[in-house]
Amino acid sequence: MQHSLKCLMLAVVGAVSLQSCSAPPPDPTIPGPAARHAASQRLTAVVITSRKELSGSPGSRFTLVSSPGDTDGGSATPVSNDGYFITADHVLAQSAGRRVFVVYRNSGNVRIAKARIVWRSYGGDVAVLHAPIPTPFYYHWTSPEKWLPVGTPVIHAGIATGFRSAPGKLSTELTPESPFTGNRKFKIDVPLQPGDSGGPVLDSHGDLVGINSAVEYLVPMETAFFIDSECSRPNVRSLAAIIERDRRSPRGKDRRSDS
């Protein structure tokens, strides 16, 4: 039986605690061109503005440099084929009274659509958005039963620095998910910059580990020294339930405009 699944089953029945199970060794495989290519097909930005529309059309180019002057935003991560995205909750901090758009790269083409905020967790720094566009390129989560130990190689795909960043590693472990697991914070040793928040953190297979949240620096006098970047992973099963409830809700049923 797989090590992490066996420990999880024993913990559920009360035979052991997860803390008493030794972590498996990390998969040493470094995320390579295939994982980066997958990320490039799914690149997504969140744009928050008072404007009613953003310029652009399917297949057009869009950059935040040319976006409205009142723009806030960050990155997002597509998690379904029908327009559901997750982002960091703090990316939406200035969204009250303004409009939220997603800018989604579909294998080279760019789609811009107004998004609806479905759900937010301030404490977990995770939020769910929905936009009425098809999203055929989206991320699959690493298995909830999988144990991701310290040292697991990762990359991130935030819009600011993701494709310029060298691969890094998990600085904290993620144990198998249980029915009682909530949103979890974990750390990676890759520096982030504004704009990366909400972007995906990926393993060597291009599967989704979590999303970028914050960066930690030690600042002695005037010199900032990078410590770690903080990321968030929601309970995968709970997140799927939130999305499914929204699909069935009156607001969710009008979500497909051109899929």
- Reported as a single tens digit per residue, the pLDDT across 129-143 is 999 999 999 999 999
* Residue 161 and residue 103 share a domain: no
Whether residues 232 and 244 share a domain: the answer is no
Quick one: average pLDDT of 180-188?
A: 94
Range in 16-30, 118-132, 174-188 the model is least confident about: 16-30
What's the pLDDT at 80?
A: 98
Co-location of 153 and 94 in the same domain: no
Q: What is the CA radius of gyration of the chain?
A: 18
What does each C-alpha distance from 192 to 39, 71, 259 come to in angstroms?
Answer: 16, 20, 34
CATH of the domain at 243: 2.40.10.10
Residues 165 and 107 in one domain: no
Render pLDDT for 244-259 as a digit per residue (tens, 0 to 9): 999 999 877 654 433 3
pLDDT over 50 at 159, yes or no: yes
Q: What is the pLDDT of residue 6?
A: 53
Residue 41 has pLDDT above 80, yes or no: yes
pLDDT band (50, 70, 90) for residue 61: very low
Please indicate, yes or no, if residue 11 is contained in any of the structural domains.
no
Distance CA 189, CA 191 (A): 7
Q: How far apart are CA 10 and CA 7, in angstroms?
A: 5
pLDDT band at 216 (very low <50, low <70, confident <90, very high): low
Looking at residue 56, its pLDDT comes to 53
pLDDT at 101 over 70: yes
- Provide the pLDDT for residue 226: 67
The verdict on 207 and 177 lying in the same domain is: yes
Please report the pLDDT score of residue 250 as a whole number: 87
Residue 17: the pLDDT is 52
Calculate ∠ Cα 235-236-239, nearest 5°: 85
- Tokens matching residue 206: 């291009």
Task: Provide the pLDDT confidence category of residue 3 given band limits of 50, 70 and 90.
Answer: low
Same domain, yes or no: 213 and 149: yes
Answer whether residue 97 is part of any domain: yes
Mean pLDDT score across all residues of the chain: 85
Is the residue at 246 inside a domain? yes
Together in a domain, 149 and 230: yes
Q: Are residues 78 and 66 in the same domain?
A: yes
Q: Is residue 103 part of a domain?
A: yes
Domain range for 156 is: 16-36+140-236
More confident residue, 40 or 225: 40
pLDDT of 168 over the 50 cut: yes
Please state the rounded mean pLDDT for residues 115-124. 96
| Residue 2 lies inside a defined structural domain of this protein | no
Residues 219, 199 share a domain: yes
Query: Does the structure show a pLDDT above 50 at 57?
Result: no
Q: What is the pLDDT of residue 214?
A: 85
- Does the residue 88 lie in any domain? yes
Number of structural domains found in the chain: 2
What is the mean pLDDT of the segment spanning 208-214? Answer: 95
Average pLDDT over residues 27-52: 93
Least confident among 15-19, 50-54, 143-147, 245-249: 15-19
For residues 46 and 112, membership in a common domain is answered with: yes
User: What does the pLDDT read at residue 257?
Assistant: 39
- Specify whether 58 is located in the same domain as 69: yes
Task: Evaluate whether residue 74 is within a structural domain.
Answer: yes
**Do 147 and 25 fall within a single domain?**
yes
